[in-house]
Structure 1
Amino acid sequence: MANEPIKKAKNGAYYFRVHLGFDEKGKRIQIYKSGFATMKEAREKYYELLFQKEEYLVSKKEIILFKEYTEKIFLPWYKTQVKKQTYENRISIIEAHFKHFYTMSIDDIEPIHVQKWQLSLMKDLKPSYVRSIQGLFSLAMDRAVVLGLAKLNPSKVIGNVKKQKATINFWTLDEFTKVLSVINRNDFYEYFHYISIHLLFMTGMRIGEATALSWNDIDFGTGILSITKNLIYKNQNDYRYGDTKTKASNRHIVLDTDTLALLKNWKDIQKKNNSKKQIHIKLQ
């Protein structure tokens, strides 16, 4: 038979060459066996090796520790998928909590390991924060599965921490009025705090959106405030402007007459005090 894998040598012994696929570098894996007295012996050995193909390839597969995968494969990819500020905010979470698995091979992480880790996090951290941590870990494992470095995502097998409804406290109008009533409006900086609190309460803006405002964002003729950017602040010497949190965050707010009057007055006070460089949280 032309396709018969078992061959007979000139000395009467039988031999074969079995192909077992390719290694991680793309090199063909093959095993040569010879010296069999009969065709039957050679064929039995040939199929024994062939049936062990998957096991053989797994044994030859390069072992990648989770630490190496996180630092050299996952993080460089993740950095291209999110905004710069998002990456900078989450890198500390990843470095602090992924190290639990750093000494393990990525394909050896099983659901039981993730469950123990999850329960240990729950002892000291809020459920919402644990959900965020495990969400990042699950994303990393999803990527490992896509890349063929892991067979499954153990985080998805056990599931994330149950989501709890957050309790959000809002100022009532009476509380808002009470706070403003104790601010000294004759003091330059306190008056600025008065303006800031008033604007935040009346518009519902995020702090980053409010601190990124400039006078060009307000049309005093129409009373419309445009929100198009966000202030990314680390310290007095390290801050920059970036996009808003989501596309939907770019919006226009119609200001009430009292708020517009306060802002006009603050603009005049700024000019008189030449305060552009003095105020970081600015409307300048």
Structure 2
Amino acid sequence: MVNFKKDKRGKYYFTASLGFDSVTGKRIQKMRSGFNTVKEAREAYAEIISNFGKSAYSQNSTMLFEEFLNTIFLPYYKGRVKERTYTNRLNAIKMHFSFFFKMKLTGIKPIHIQKWQNELSENYENSYIRNIFGLFQMSLDRAVVLGMIPSNPAKVVGNVKKSKKEIDFWTKEEFEKVVKTFYIEDYYQHFSFICIWLLFMTGMRIGEATALTWDNVNLDEKFLQVKKSLYYKNADTYEFVEPKTRASIRTIYLDDDTVHFLRDWKNRQDEMGGIKFVLSYNSVPTQKHTVRYIIKRHAKLAEVHDVRIHALRHSHASLLISMGKNALLIKERLGHEDVQTTLGTYGHLYPNSSNEIADDLKGMVNVEFTNQNIAPEVTNQFTKEVKKKV
């Protein structure tokens, strides 16, 4: 990854690594200096990389894929996605793309990609592989644009088949067993209970819940407002970001039980000196790993199956469906962009809907036939033949 540094004059400089010479095997590097700002240096670096890329294929480049990834694709990709997206995906990219690190960029063939895809399929779900493969294909698309390879071999192989992932969730009965494991006289267990309860009873995403502050909660009017999400690196480095979609900005109305539990928790926090985050016991936003440990610990105590954090969102949707709530209401409450997302994710949780429709239709239409023929002219060839035989 290129570093932009300052010299003694306060000017920025950088060294661009462009792979290896095909004859000598030595690394090809170009240094540029004298830039007033990092932006100017970055633009110059991008131009060098682009110009090199356009001629690299014709020069039979010996650049390894690892070099291409670190010096060309990752800087390009980082500038086109949100920082949290880049940070979250970086480790997965480097781990899985390492299969190609020692190969020349120009030497990656469909057979290599197919073998890599097969190995991924032995260890990961299709939905995860599709995301990883999509990023790999994007990297080679960039190499094509820059003229470093003539075509994208990943497109020849194609992505793995899209499969519908089974939704995991806690039933109401399972959740009730988990609730019984909390001793809320203990401050930390009280906090743990609120985390689980709020996620199960509202269906919020974990980032929405951990970003929730008391000024977004109205206990008297019984609602909370989702306006932001939390991007968490560590206790000292976190920031509020825009929610996942525009539809994610929403108002969630609260049941009386949730209002009661939140009011008690707010009083408990006030006894500790006051905390602005709803899901916090120490004035610092709660990271998702903490919530994950809480779920794991209390699922084991309750002797129910362990679930991921997002499964509590699924659990809320499942609960609403079991209560007979329609998909449009669930869409609004969960903050889905459209109802197709809701139905596509949870439609299978309506197992008896077809039977219920059939049962409801029974007797809806009153049937009474006439006792004489009031349309004698309505006949066809078959009915004429029947009359003759009679």
Please list the CA deviations of residues 177-234 of structure 1 after superposition, one character each: whole Å capped at 9, or x if unmatched: 2221231122222122222221111111122221111101112343331112222334
User: Following superposition of structure 1 onto structure 2, how do residues 51-62 of structure 1 map, counting pairs within 5 Å?
Assistant: 60=59, 62=61
TM-score (structure 2 length as normaliser) = 0.53
| Residues 230 and 239, structure 2, Cα contact 8 Å, conserved in 1 | yes
Report the number of matched residues.
Answer: 229
Which residue of structure 1 lines up, in the alignment, with residue 224 of structure 2? 225
For the pair 1:241 / 2:240, whether they are aligned, the reply is yes
Please list the CA deviations of residues 19-69 of structure 1 after superposition, one character each: whole Å capped at 9, or x if unmatched: xxxxx979xxxxxxxxxxxxxxxxxxxxxxxxxxxxxx9654544332222
Relative to structure 1, the CA distance from residue 182 to residue 239 in structure 2 (aligned partners, 3 Å threshold; closer, same or farther) is: same
The farther-off stretch of 249-258 and 238-247 is 238-247
Higher relative contact order (CA 8 A, sep 6+): 2
For the pair 1:199 / 2:198, whether they are aligned, the reply is yes
User: Following superposition of structure 1 onto structure 2, how do residues 77-226 of structure 1 map, counting pairs within 5 Å?
Assistant: 77-226=76-225
User: Following superposition of structure 1 onto structure 2, how do residues 15-30 of structure 1 map, counting pairs within 5 Å?
Assistant: none
Q: CA–CA distance in 1 between the matches of 2:57 and 2:160?
A: 33
Q: CA–CA distance in 2 between the matches of 1:125 and 1:274?
A: 46
Segments of structure 2 that go 5 or more residues without pairing to the other structure are 1-49, 276-280, 287-390
Q: Give percent identity, aligned residues only.
A: 45
Q: CA–CA distance in 2 between the matches of 1:174 and 1:124?
A: 32
Q: CA–CA distance in 1 between the matches of 2:75 and 2:83?
A: 12
Q: CA–CA distance in 2 between the matches of 1:232 and 1:25?
A: 36
SS at 1:124's partner residue? coil
Please list the CA deviations of residues 138-187 of structure 1 after superposition, one character each: whole Å capped at 9, or x if unmatched: 11111222222222211121111222221222222222222212311222
Which residue of structure 1 lines up, in the alignment, with residue 262 of structure 2? 263
SS at 1:167's partner residue? coil
SS at 1:199's partner residue? helix
Q: CA–CA distance in 2 between the matches of 1:271 and 1:93?
A: 41
Relative to structure 1, the CA distance from residue 59 to residue 244 in structure 2 (aligned partners, 3 Å threshold; closer, same or farther) is: closer
- Structure number with larger C-alpha Rg: 1
SS at 2:195's partner residue? helix
Task: Flag the structure with higher strand content.
Answer: 1
Equivalent residue letter for 2:97: F
Which residue among 271, 279, 282 is the counterpart of 1:278? 282
Cα RMSD (Å):
2.5
Deviation at residue 238 of structure 1 after TM alignment: 4.2
Q: CA–CA distance in 2 between the matches of 1:140 and 1:268?
A: 52
Which residue of structure 2 lines up, in the alignment, with residue 36 of structure 1? none
